[in-house]
A and B are shown apart, each in its own frame.
Chain A
């Protein structure tokens, strides 16, 4: 190697150093460490005891861990997100992206909840759901449905849905914004040509706009699914202890409990590992699903 090359590589290394250090120490190394911890029984203080895959066994077989329940809830949230939240977002994106009067203000208003801290949103919804003075309760009473009222977040049958509604509501604007950017990217000429050929607005959307925003649609679906698997904030704020009979648990809340309340670091790591694997697996599967569509046509 020439001297000049060596200097060049030293420079490259120095330029990369801060980013690499942050990245390796805080993102990459911990993934392997998590995997390593997950094979141990450890309370963070005393010696670690190697237990093999016992943590995983317990995770998937022991009922008091509530892991299946939490996974089921996360999957339900993912499904609701893909089949309810995304269509709403797509609808608004198509309407606004076509260019109508008031496009900008509507867009800005719809995106606003994304910027507000989830703790704030959660506190507001706690007040909406309050069984004595909450808006929902009072509204129902005023309309004469007082007997429908219940402690929304304290009742096993309603708690999960009450937690999911704000979660879905808050991020409609986020997906809408992504899809809107895609819709705006569709050339107006193609749109115009289709209109001249006699296509209706909904035909233009179906055959031209939606197929051409597929890459963004894919990203949106991946974000919706992995975001649901990882969801934590709103659920923690609305039902801090996992809800009545653990009915609102998700993997993140289990992770939090194992780590903070029970000092079970090995088990916490096992949950983290399962979550990482699921997130990557779903992201890959979704990418694959979108690819196949392309090969075999619409």
Chain B
């Protein structure tokens, strides 16, 4: 009897604990979802609704014209294009250079490969502030501020160490016998790299692309200093300036925020696991 009631108590206690845990989990989930929900809804509202009549509900009339004004008068297409160009070029540069470097470090035989690898890994800890002034001075002297180059090369350089780290993880998994076989068939290192190794590195390309894309797409400090005015603003700088212009009209600002965010969210919905992996890989191994 006694043991029965004790067991009942235990079951009740576990049940209560479980409920508390779920309440906390759901509350925190709401805290994370709410700003995004709020952004989507107020991007479709009139000022009247936003400023009191319909603060957090769904919009009464879906005011798509907010998107039209953000898109037409706010130069959003241009900023969007700039962000795409800068990110894609930087990612391509990271992938090419880190693949090649990793191949030299892990597959070719030479004395200082470990040292060179350690040297590259320094890049994981160097803060971008270390190079901001000299890069700015150099860019200014060469007349390269407010160009795509001003962002592509620094972004690539700061993603490079992580790129090499990720590549190394994938490349050491490829059996050395493949290189051996290729060599016997008469392939030099370049052919082996291009024909044997590269096709097997597709998963690494995906991980590196995701990691670098997130770094480039959202970066503000370099973009703000190097490309602050002119036609080469990226989305973060553009959105920041735009909301300075539209201080009283929240709808179009909301629309601009959504435009800047949705590519990321759509990619995340389809690839959440892969994206999370690309963030973990560096920290866990490094």
Contacts and interface: CB of A to CB of B under 8 A. Distances in A.
A112 B32 contact: yes
B100 A230 contact: no
Interface residues of A, number: 87
A220 B130 CA distance: 22
Interface in A1-24: 8-9, 11-12, 15-20, 22-23
B125 A120 contact: no
B144 interface: no
A279 B122 CA distance: 13
B160 A16 contact: no
Interface stretch (B70-78, B132-140, B169-177, B199-207): B132-140
A19 B253 contact: no
Given A18-B96, A44-B140, A223-B283, A279 B125 contact: yes
A62 B28 CA distance: 44
Nearest to A116: B261
Interface residues of B, number: 90
B189 A11 contact: yes
Interface stretch (A29-37, A78-86, A147-155): A29-37
Interface in B40-67: 42, 50-52, 55-56
Nearest to B141: A44
A181 B21 contact: no
Contact of B133 (A223, A230, A269): A269
Interface stretch (B1-9, B179-187, B218-226): B218-226
B103 A15 contact: yes
Interface centre among A30, A268, A276, A280 (most CB of B within 10 A): A30
B221 A16 contact: no
A256 B280 contact: no
Given A8-B109, A119-B240, A124 B35 contact: yes
Interface string B26-45: 00110111011011001000
B239 A119 contact: yes
A106 interface: yes
B130 A272 contact: yes
Interface in B234-259: 235-237, 239-240, 243, 250, 253, 257
B103 A115 contact: no
A72 interface: no
A184 to B, nearest CB: 10
A176 to B, nearest CB: 10
Given A18-B100, A138-B52, A123 B108 contact: no
Contacts of A236: 220, 224
A194 interface: no
A44 to B, nearest CB: 6
A216 B33 contact: no
A107 B28 contact: no
A95 interface: yes
Given A22-B97, A102-B25, A112-B36, A15 B104 contact: yes
A291 B205 CA distance: 35
B127 interface: yes
A216 B284 contact: yes
A209 interface: no
Contacts of A25: 157
23 contacts: A12-B104, A19-B97, A19-B100, A19-B101, A22-B93, A22-B157, A23-B157, A26-B131, A30-B131, A31-B126, A33-B133, A34-B133, A92-B25, A117-B235, A117-B236, A118-B218, A124-B257, A138-B52, A178-B279, A178-B284, A181-B284, A259-B132, A276-B126
The 7 tightest CB contacts between A and B, nearest first, are: A30-B131, A26-B157, A19-B101, A15-B104, A18-B97, A30-B134, A33-B134
